[in-house]
Chains A and B, each alone.
Chain A
Amino acid sequence: MRPATCRFTMDTMITVENLTKRYGDYVALDDVSFTSKPGRVTGFLGPNGAGKSTTMRIIAGLTPATSGTATVCGSSYRDIHNPATEVGVLLDASAQHAGRTGAEILRLSAMTLGVGRTRVDEMLEMVSLTAEESRRRVRNYSLGMRQRLGIANALLGDPQILILDEPANGLDPAGIHWMRTLLRDYADRGGTVLLSSHLLHEIEIIADDLVVIGQGRIVAQGTKEELLAGNGTRVRSLDDDALLQAMTAAGIVARPVIEGGFLADVAPEDIGRLAARIQIPLVELRPGDGANLEQMFLDLTAATAREGSATQGAPQ
């Protein structure tokens, strides 16, 4: 990556502040704020229709916000000259002229940005599209191939920031692995990545920081470790009844879990000491699962789904 204009000077590359977007009475985004930092992959997670794409389009200057601001490198996207050399954007891999070949799409972008033709071949190689595939028309591309082409297009101008909307859609497991490696490398070299997904598992693999959105509102944000860290301790022993009694006596709140054993609200070492003292052999002792985020995400998804069916069934 070439020395760029703001990478050494700013600790947040994408700043979204109090973004609100209304379509008539419908509130698509409600006071959304978050940042994306250099050297990190920020995962933008939310169910379908939560407002991820709208937010990304506002950042890229394609959708006007009702209120609030979104800046890239401290500037509004529209004020950046030749912005694709600073910010690589992939908002919809299918939004390409079906009658153009993959290579032609990259050539058009290369011409616009003013980068050489050799860069097109480099990018095709980087995303593993063969010369033969690049000469095919995009209407004959699978979604996975379109995503690769879209990522090549986003990287064409050698940007220091990448904004990718659902880039893993349509990629096979090998493709997802490839993308994870690519984005990890990119972030390790100082790049900033903001990518969205509606799949918790997918984003868990790739992201360092998480921003969770539901129904237009940010419901959680922080590092992946913070958000995925489960509270408490999972413990299972050869005599769970006795263990529960001892824990209750020690003032530890523990609730049974389906797979057996308990989830206790203290650190693993506290349970370990207690078990040693009362001499109950443990068969499992570890920090609790990241149940919080998963549960929260499920609730979000379910809430949206319920609302959808309620609207359908209810008489107006």
Chain B
Amino acid sequence: MTTTATPPAVLDTGRPGIPMSRLIRVEMRKLVDTRAGFWLMASIGLIALAVMIGMLAGNRNKPENLTFGDFFGLMNIPTAIILPVMAILLVTGEWSQRTALTTFAMEPRRERVVIAKLATSFIAAVSAVALSLVLGAVGAVIAGMLYSDTAGSWSMTLAGIVNSFTIQIFNLLLGFAFAALILNTPGAIVGYFALPTALSIVNELLPAFKDSVGEWIDSSLTQAPFQSGDWVSGGEWMRLIVSGIVWIGIPLTFGILRILRTEIK
């Protein structure tokens, strides 16, 4: 120890904090560093591959169904189920496994961890869509080699890609928002999958509801126009945005507030 007098000082709060890029890399690593996480992520690629092989085998007599767009479109369906589950686990895993205790002890500014998790989910979604594009292209090339010229057509609209990506991000955020609000894995997953069904039933039973409110807030209805390869109309975008505010905006706001304020045990 030094004997020279040091001026009384408190901790240097100006020293560098943890950069966001590092928090994001940590969260990306958390996605794949357990067996469950690894296989969940790997399943996105494996299922897309299975879809490709299945399509190639199943459409021997209908090669016109083997366009780039067909491959891409079908591969996006399983991805749309897996990505929200991944987002849910990324959030609720901290609570169910109680790792929040270490995570937030290392970064007490909890909002930064939430942002890192959102960014990680987003990067995973972009990668998954990119993977579908690559595997879709591979499928189209193989189809072209195996079958006639009608197979392996490269016709695909930009609108188709934008629409698919929009849907992926919408559902991913929906899962994330439910996870943040509920902070419990089974609860968030059940909530995420039960919500569209519940709304569909209400719409079914109450046509008046469907025509007034339902078509604005039922996310399965508002997403429907985005299944096509054409640009959707402004009104259809508005409906998607309104349902997004209701099912993403509100739960995400309350969920993040909950994460920031809750006692971590």
Contact = CB atoms under 8 A, between A and B. Distances in A.
A99 B22 CA distance: 22
Interface residues of B, number: 42
B18 A113 contact: yes
A82 B26 contact: no
B99 interface: yes
A167 to B, nearest CB: 14
Contact of A111 (B1, B16, B29, B93): B29
Interface string B92-127: 010001110110111111000000000000000000
A94 B99 CA distance: 9
B212 interface: no
Interface residues of A, number: 43
Contacts of B37: 99
A274 B22 CA distance: 74
B36 interface: yes
Contacts of B62: none
Given A62-B263, A92-B98, A78 B26 contact: no
A82 B104 contact: no
A74 B105 contact: no
A304 B244 CA distance: 51
Interface string B10-50: 11111111100011011001100111110000000000000
A62 B101 contact: yes
Nearest to A62: B264
B72 to A, nearest CB: 33
A79 B13 contact: yes
A26 to B, nearest CB: 14
A57 B265 CA distance: 8
A219 interface: no
A73 interface: yes
A83 B105 contact: yes
A190 interface: yes
Contacts of A92: 98, 101
Contact of B26 (A6, A63, A99, A112): A112
Interface of B: 1-2, 6-18, 22-23, 25-26, 29-30, 33-37, 93, 97-99, 101-102, 104-109, 261, 263-265
